[in-house]
Amino acid sequence: MSSSEFRENAEECRGWAETARSDRERELFLQMAEAWFSAVLHAESREATATELAPSLSSLDTRRDVAD
């Protein structure tokens, strides 16, 4: 899943929290939203690392061609 999909799930949980029938239900939905937002941060970190590595990986292919 992508960070945007995680974010959508978190927002959906927040919406459910707004319409919760009890404090306990609201708390559970907010905890779920928090978990999804944690996943957003993890996914964004992973995506940023992949983006940073992409140029490095492509330069490795170029170096291999030069070495051959």
Is the separation of the CB atoms in 10 and 36 below 8 Å?
A: yes
Radius of gyration of the chain (CA): 20
Question: pLDDT by residue (tens digit) across 12-67?
Answer: 999 999 999 999 999 999 999 999 999 999 999 888 887 776 666 566 665 555 55
Give CA–CA dist 32/26, Å, rounded: 10
CB of 29 closer than 8 Å to CB of 20: yes
Give this prediction's pTM: 0.69
**Domain extents in the chain:** 3-67
SS3 label, residue 68: coil
